[in-house]
Amino acid sequence: MDPSEVDVPPLKDLTIDNITDNVKLINSQCPDPRLKYLLERLVQHVHDFARETRLSHNEWLAAIQFLTAVGQICTDVRQEFILLSDILGLSLLVDSIDHPKPADSTEGTVLGPFHTHDAHSEPNGTQIAHDPDGEPCLVLCTIKDRSGKPVSDVKIDIWETDSKGKYDVQYEGREQPDQRAVMHSDEEGKFWFKAIVPVPYPIPHDGPVGKLLKLLKRHCYRPSHMHFMFEKEGFDHLITALYLRGDPYETSDAVFGVKESLLIDLGTVNAEQAKTYGVKEGTKTIVYDFVLVSEEDSRKLREAKAMAAMKHLGLRMKLYNGLPVPEID
Amino acid sequence: MDPSEVDVPPLKDLTIDNITDNVKLINSQCPDPRLKYLLERLVQHVHDFARETRLSHNEWLAAIQFLTAVGQICTDVRQEFILLSDILGLSLLVDSIDHPKPADSTEGTVLGPFHTHDAHSEPNGTQIAHDPDGEPCLVLCTIKDRSGKPVSDVKIDIWETDSKGKYDVQYEGREQPDQRAVMHSDEEGKFWFKAIVPVPYPIPHDGPVGKLLKLLKRHCYRPSHMHFMFEKEGFDHLITALYLRGDPYETSDAVFGVKESLLIDLGTVNAEQAKTYGVKEGTKTIVYDFVLVSEEDSRKLREAKAMAAMKHLGLRMKLYNGLPVPEID
């Protein structure tokens, strides 16, 4: 940008006490009110953090090096910044803010860093996991709206690890997706597939996030779970997962994802189901009824909660594209 | 880490309102009290930021992608995270906190991302800049302590851009350092060298930080300056720079580095100086007397200011390796 086009306030002799206001002032020329508000809050919190901790140059440099390492280990199939957000509880917090759920609908949870966009679209009944060491598991689900009406033609992304606790993308030389699929609910809102019983696994801990967990004396395990993502026009995007009750890490998920309402007990296939779905009697089952919220209900709830939270914080705000910005600019 | 070695508090059903305390709780097992305090404050501020802005999933994802891009553009000779810290005013803030200066000593300022560790050690009088288009400039400096006593054998790192406003490391195929040197003060605390008159220049703006500045409608220029870094045992490390008074960007430095006490007016070489230093009469000069603070004075001042700031914030803290941690753990 040609500096002559930019009108900047005079900035000189900045100190611990006046730099925050001055940085906010120079950023305040941002024409987008939402980005301006985000930066205003970001600068305040980053500066307050440094002031409250009396952050040393060496600590600052260690943070710079840590963040650089986090960025540099990222690849097409590894997202260490999402992992960092996950272990700091930020991912779950953002999902809770952005996708508030009425009590009668399925709760959301963390996306995690292992969703991919290359899963094959498969018909109901497909065997989506091919690990011969995995314990077979029949998954039988329905999708309804809040009135109890089945929702058909929902796009469902499903992904889980193999029996060793690794996602396909964690293996070198991965040629095609495994333990993942895209399915669609049928006319009765049903979808079903054959997978394997989920197992607990460590999040990737050979990188900077793993080092941080070790310094914090935290373990890096996630309890057994299977991921689900639901998309259909008119409905709020739902990112969630089902967790096996009684898992050793049920109450200490490294990424804070477990919710009581998402815990399930494994069942077993009875004689009739064995016939219907073409699996052995006694095979493990996961049975769950998902309830989606309409986009409209979700938007209303999100906006009402946002404005209530702003009021609670004593901030005078208005909504701009559904997100809060200061009422008086 | 073997999870059986780790005693974790139960974490489940985390919400917007209780996740912060729970994440702090699981991090509180960190055996290092300073890291524990840093994480406690980091989690509080990151979560408060998300709550106060009602951060959306899309904004969170944009931030993840931005930070990833910042990390990925970093190389041995480009540090985009330092640049990000610079344009957010964090670098100057941290320097102000960590290296407080008594009124009778030279102020510090931002290090910037272009210091290298490969500058050659040169004797006084060396021509350190070889750009034929640069305007020659004789730099004559002294280093004293606060009592006015010359300080000899100080290691001084000096770096500046060429006449086009680029550092040597910004050119591909750089074979050896230019416009930079390491010098040492003589018995009288003097050091002098031949360089070129500094020019204003844009910080690197072809990466994610440049994009952010553009979105914020900020320019990316730094006023003309020459960097200096001073190291000698027993003295506080001084990172500073001298700025040319009257530069068009004097009051709008993109990285907030300018301080009144670091502004200088260019002088010109007189007949006697021309003879002494072997330069043409009329050549531009930069003349400056630096004053270093003893490590002991700096430590005392830093600690006193830290404890005063903690008290002002209403926090009951003690010092641990010179940095604040909660008094009661």
CA atoms within 13 A on the CB side of A314: 0
Q: What is the pLDDT of residues B122-150, one digit of tens each?
A: 999 999 999 999 999 999 999 999 999 99
- Using an 8 Å Cβ cutoff, are B236 and B294 in contact? yes
Same domain, B242 and B159: yes
Does A217 contact B47 at a Cβ distance shorter than 8 Å? no
Query: What is the structure's pLDDT at A9?
Result: 63
Whether A62 and chain B come into contact, CB under 8 Å, resolves to no
Q: Are residues A21 and A108 in the same domain?
A: no
- Domain of B319 in residue numbering reads as 303-329
Q: Is B98 in contact with A55 (Cβ distance < 8 A)?
A: yes
Within-domain flag for A71: no
Query: So what's the pLDDT on residue B9?
Result: 64
pLDDT value for A3: 55
- Same domain, residue pair A251 and A118: yes
Q: Indicate the length of chain A as a whole number.
A: 329
High-pLDDT (> 70) share of chain B, %: 97
How many inter-chain contacts (A to B, CB under 8 Å) are there? 296
Q: Are residues A121 and A6 in the same domain?
A: no
Name A130's Cβ contacts closer than 8 Å, sequence gap at least 6.
A178, A179
Within-domain flag for B97: yes
Of the candidates B30, B92, B324, the beta carbon closest to that of A19 is on B92
Assess whether A179 and A108 both reside in one domain: yes
The distance of A34 to chain B (nearest Cα, Å) reads 9
A253 and A125 both lie in a single domain: yes
All residues of chain B having their beta carbon less than 8 Å from the beta carbon of residue A60 are 85, 90-91, 94, 98
Residues 231-250 of B with CB under 8 A from A: 248-250
- A229 Cβ under 8 Å from any chain B Cβ: no
The domain spanning residue A173 has which CATH number?
A: 2.60.130.10
DSSP designation for A286: E
Element spanning A98, H or E: helix A90-98
In the predicted model, residues of chain A with pLDDT beneath 70 are 1-10, 329
Cα–Cα distances in Å, from A143 out to A96, A189, A277, B64, B270?
21, 5, 19, 31, 87
Q: Are residues B269 and B309 in the same domain?
A: no
Residues 278-297 of B with CB under 8 A from A: none
B147 shares its domain with B114: yes
Total Cβ atoms within 10 A of residue B275? 11
Please tell me whether residues A231 and A133 are part of one structural domain: yes
Domain membership flag for residue A255: yes
Q: Look at A256 and B22 and tell me if their CB atoms are within 8 Å.
A: yes
Hey, are the CB atoms on B253 and A11 less than 8 Å from each other? yes
CB contact under 8 A, B90 and A60: yes
On whether residue A235 sits in a domain, the answer given is: yes
| Within a domain: B104 | yes
Q: Which residues of B touch A259 (CB under 8 A)?
A: 12-14
> Quick one: CA torsion of B120, B125, B130, B133, rounded to 10 degrees?
150
Decide if A281 is inside a domain: yes
Same domain, A109 and A34: no
Tell me if chain B has a CB within 8 Å of the CB of A299: no
Do the Cβ atoms of A256 and B11 come within 8 Å? yes
pLDDT for the residue B133 = 97
Which of A16, A37, A55 is the endpoint of a domain? A55
* B50-101 per-position pLDDT tens digit: 999 999 999 999 999 999 999 999 998 889 999 999 999 999 999 999 999 9
Q: Does A21 touch chain B (CB under 8 A)?
A: no
B51 shares its domain with B89: no
For residue B12, what pLDDT band results from cuts at 50, 70 and 90?
Answer: confident
Q: ipTM of this model?
A: 0.92
> Model confidence over B264-274: pLDDT tens digits?
999 999 999 99
Cβ atoms of A161 and A128 within 8 Å: the answer is: no
Within a domain: residue B60? no
Residue A79 lies in a domain: no
Distance from CA of B247 to the nearest CA of A (A): 13
Would you tell me the crossing angle of helices B57-73 and B208-215 to the nearest 10 degrees?
130
Residues A192 and A266 placed together within one structural domain of the fold: yes
Q: How many domains does chain A have?
A: 2
